[in-house]
Amino acid sequence: MTPILDMAGISVTFPGVKALDKAMLTVLPGEVHGLVGENGAGKSTLIKVLAGVYAPDEGVVSLGDEKHISTLTPNLVHTAGVRFIHQELHLVPHFTVAESVFMGQEISGRFGLDKSTMNARTEDFLRETLNADISPRTLIRDLGTAERKLVQISRALIDGRATLVVFDEPTAPLASDEVDRLFAAIGGLKSKGIAMIYVSHYLREITHISDRVTVLRNGKAVKVFNEVSDQITDPMISAMVGREIAEMFPKKENTSNKKLFEARELSGMGFSQVNFDVAAGEVLGIAGLVGSGREELIDTIYGLLPVTSGSMTLKAEAYNPKRPAKAVKAGVALVPRDRRHDGLVLDQPVIDNINLASLEEVSTVLMEKRGVAKNRAEAMANQLDLRPRNVTMIPRLLSGGNQQKVVLGRWLAKGGDLFILDEPTVGVDVGAKVEIYALIRELAAQGSAVIVSSGDPLELLGLSDRIMVLQRGFLAASHDAKDVNVDSLVALTTGGSSGAIE
Amino acid sequence: MKWLLRYSFLLVIAACIVFFSFWNPVFLSAGNQMNILEGSAILLIVALGMTLVVAMGGIDLSVGIALDFGAAFAVVALKEYDAAWYVAILAGIVGGCLIGLLNAVLIVWLNVSAFMATLGTFFIGSSVQRIFTNGGGPISHRRMPQEYRDLAVGDFGGVPTEVLIAGFVLILYFIFLERSILGKRIHAIGLQPTAALIAGVEVKKIIFASFIIAGATCAIGGLIASANIRMFTPLSGFSYLLDAIAAVFIGASMHPRGRPNVMGTLVGVLFLGILANGLNLMGLNFNTKDALSGVILVLALAFAIGQRRLTSLRKGQT
Ligand SMILES: Nc1ncnc2c1ncn2[C@@H]1O[C@H](COP(=O)(O)OP(=O)(O)OP(=O)(O)O)[C@@H](O)[C@H]1O
Ligand SMILES: [Mg+2]
């Protein structure tokens, strides 16, 4: 079988980094090809070479029967039938589904735009190819994230000329029950004979849907798995990180049980009458589907949303921050779920991002002491094993896991009593995950209270001492982590309904 | 090479200087150099206020109004209330602060966008001036205290006071915006306000204060202008608005990451000053001069921004 895509010997160099070093990737017609690797391994760079965004220093890309040596352009790639589903959504909230799908490729009839044809074709495509039932007249802003993802896919594929579709971390913004819908859609594409490249850090997804897998490490394709099953997870991880990972999760050593934070009958936008507490030295996990009030609860504790009734106590004092600055002053830190938008100032150097919450500590009489600031940032970069270890770089150019380390570094530098981490490992590779988990337990061991909110049941089980489950804004359950397993936790979050992936 | 690209705008300026001095050697004379500096002092002060606001992610269309209010408050204090010169200066600065306060209230409390809020302030401020002066007649004050007059016509060791004042404001702004931790926070707000908020920055307070500081700064320009012509001319501040915006964006185009910055603004202001002065010496008529300086400005900006895009493309950023 001639491959539909063959990339061979691809090298790309950025100032100071060899992002790709003679990397290769071969995709056969009609297969789903998983592409995995640590943060910074070069996955996105390889995809961007294919997209014609970066010209490689060396290497050959063959699409079908044509060989292209650094002559790929976005247009040429599009004409060849390659489509990209980027991680970001880029949809206009007040457009309808059909308008979004046909944006830039409208069908015009005799009297301007032919809306009915566009509506009909959108509906057909969504139903027949993606197995989704969405009305083409719905507004984007009324759709959930998974449905928006499907709209984004339809937009790339509606012209029916796609032969190869590239997904770059498509499930990162999705809750576990939404992932199923996306997989159903991918199944639909596959049955139409369309080949796919699937980039993800969720190895369970990779083994679930791929036919073959390529592993990148340090810009090289270190391994290709031609057979995929659950058994390859461990070899895949060791190929990714270049070593064995013995334990994903660190030991839990909960020492104290002095209450540090307490919420009594707390209500806010999207949740009501929630009671819970966290002790110093404890990690509390919060589970819940999208819409369970998990995000709102966290935003309320951090002063981003108002308390409507009930009360909070921090270190035995009444606590009700009206804005994040107050929360920070009281000793609370938030690692937000959307690090690119809320966590980092992407275009300010790493030094400034690490010091942003504690600028007073690197200044005299309000003047920044640049040397001190730099030393502090460098110490943090060493502690967190930031790669590359260059604190003058802007976070925009860092890979996902390293961006997250910068956000963590800011709060480690600042210190705090209550750390709230919202989806701390989305888009983060296994190796960095292990490091971040260790850090979180370390924070607890040093006497902080930690709240981890996550959509990943394994993460919650491995990391937390206790897990509380939110359902439609109410506290549905609260258990010792010892007393639950993945199945029972999923059952608790979904309220017993099935359909969630393991 | 990197240096060359980054400072390409300085090359444009150098080219202008060479061109103008060939055309008319007077251009290079010490006296004319001082003319350029003196002519740029007020614009520099206003443009610095604008730099602050743009660095914070906003825009201030009411800088001219703040300048007018500065002049008006000071002249009225001198004329109607026989105020001492330093009281008049304070009154003028309070006038500028009021304009900044109005912007701040609209933007921070009422959540109006900076563009709309300062445009509103611009209209309100213009009407107030017209009403107050019965349709825009100037308020002149011949018997101005010499100390106040000296703001514009005095000198220290041969350096005109207005140049010294502008230099002083420049240094303050440099320290404030580029070296202090408040400046760090302002830049963070300008780049990503939610990220700054979540990092614990008092975003609203800083925005509030910054608009007031910008208003006060522009009022200093108004003091100098009124001392120079010994009167308050309503709506005269407007002429600085577009030049101030141009200077800030020229400055930003020189920054490696395209950020508004104090030293860049200085270069932008000097460039505009040199351009105006040089074209004047060429003896062109008013309209040609205006058109020509517009064309040169656009070309220079296109050049500077194009250069930057080239460097970043080479690094593979998109
Ligand atoms: N425009 C750029 N300029 C400089 N370095 C870059 C640029 N883009 C990527 N890099 C570097 O190249 C390497 C590969 O990055 P890439 O984004 O391809 O990683 P990735 O495998 O997609 O990681 P992640 O899983 O975190 O998305 C990293 O070290 C990254 O910091
Ligand atoms: Mg990537």
Please identify, by atom number, the ligand 1 atom nearest to the C-alpha of residue A43: 21
Would you call A359 and B257 a contact, using CB atoms and an 8 Å cutoff? no
Beta strands in A87-134 (DSSP E): 108-109, 112-113
The C-alpha angle with vertex B54 and arms to B50 and B59, in degrees rounded to 5, equals 75
pLDDT at A234: 86
pLDDT digits (tens, 9 = 90+) for A173-222: 676 667 787 888 888 889 889 999 999 888 888 999 999 999 999 899 99
Give the lowest-confidence range in A138-147, A216-225, A330-339.
A138-147
Would you call A366 and B182 a contact, using CB atoms and an 8 Å cutoff? yes
Average pLDDT value for residue range B90-118 = 97
Q: Note whether B199 and A360 are within 8 A (CB).
A: no
Average pLDDT value for residue range B203-207 = 97
Average pLDDT, chain A: 89
User: Is residue B307 very low, low, confident or very high in pLDDT (cuts 50, 70, 90)?
Assistant: low
Task: Report the C-alpha gap between B307 and B311 in whole angstroms.
Answer: 6
Beta strands across the sheet bearing A317-318: A271-279, A259-268, A307-314, A317-318
CATH 3.40.50.300 boundaries in chain A? 5-241, 259-494
pLDDT at B314: 46
Q: How far is B311 from chain A (nearest CA, A)?
A: 12
Average pLDDT value for residue range B251-267 = 91
Would you call B198 and A343 a contact, using CB atoms and an 8 Å cutoff? yes
pLDDT at A251: 82
Average pLDDT value for residue range A139-162 = 86
- Provide φ and ψ at B100, rounded to 5°: -60, -40
pLDDT for residue B2 is more than 60: no
Instruction: Give B177 Cα–ligand 2 centroid separation in angstroms.
Output: 34
Task: Report the C-alpha gap between B46 and B66 in whole angstroms.
Answer: 9
Task: Report the C-alpha gap between B199 and B28 in whole angstroms.
Answer: 51
pLDDT digits (tens, 9 = 90+) for A62-79: 988 777 766 788 888 988
Average pLDDT value for residue range A12-29 = 90
pLDDT at B136: 86
pLDDT at B298: 84
Q: Does B188 touch chain A (CB under 8 A)?
A: yes
pLDDT for residue A114 is more than 60: yes
Task: Report the C-alpha gap between A455 and A467 in whole angstroms.
Answer: 12
Q: Does A397 touch chain B (CB under 8 A)?
A: yes
Q: What is the CATH number of domain B9-310?
A: 1.10.3470
Which residues have CB less than 5 Å away from ligand 2 (the ion)? A 44
Q: For residue B179, which residues of chain A lie inside 8 Å, CB to CB?
A: 367-368
Of residues A25 and A181, the one with the higher pLDDT is A25
Fold type of domain A5-241 = Rossmann fold (3.40.50)
pLDDT for residue A486 is more than 80: yes
pLDDT digits (tens, 9 = 90+) for B218-240: 999 999 999 999 999 999 999 99
For chain B, what are the domain ranges? 9-310
Q: Does B192 touch chain A (CB under 8 A)?
A: yes
Q: Does A327 touch chain B (CB under 8 A)?
A: yes
Q: Which of A7, A44, A344 to mutate to test ligand 1, by most ligand atoms within 8 A of the CB atom? A: A44
pLDDT digits (tens, 9 = 90+) for B143-164: 999 999 999 999 998 899 999 9
pLDDT at B179: 95
- CATH of A259-494 given 3.40.50.300, 3.40.50.970, 3.30.465.10, 3.40.47.10: 3.40.50.300
Q: Is A426 in the pocket of ligand 1 (CB under 6 A)?
A: no
Q: For residue A325, which residues of chain B lie inside 8 Å, CB to CB?
A: 197, 200-203
Q: Is the ipTM of this complex over 0.95?
A: no
Q: Which of B309, B311, B314, B317 to mutate to test ligand 1, by most ligand atoms within 8 A of the CB atom? A: B317
CA-closest residue to ligand 1 atom 2: A397
CA-closest residue to ligand 1 atom 22: A44
pLDDT at B310: 61
Query: Cβ-count burial of B175 within 10 angstroms (0-12 exposed, 13-18 middle, 19+ buried)?
Result: middle
Q: Is A40 in the pocket of ligand 1 (CB under 6 A)?
A: yes
CA-closest residue to ligand 1 atom 6: A397
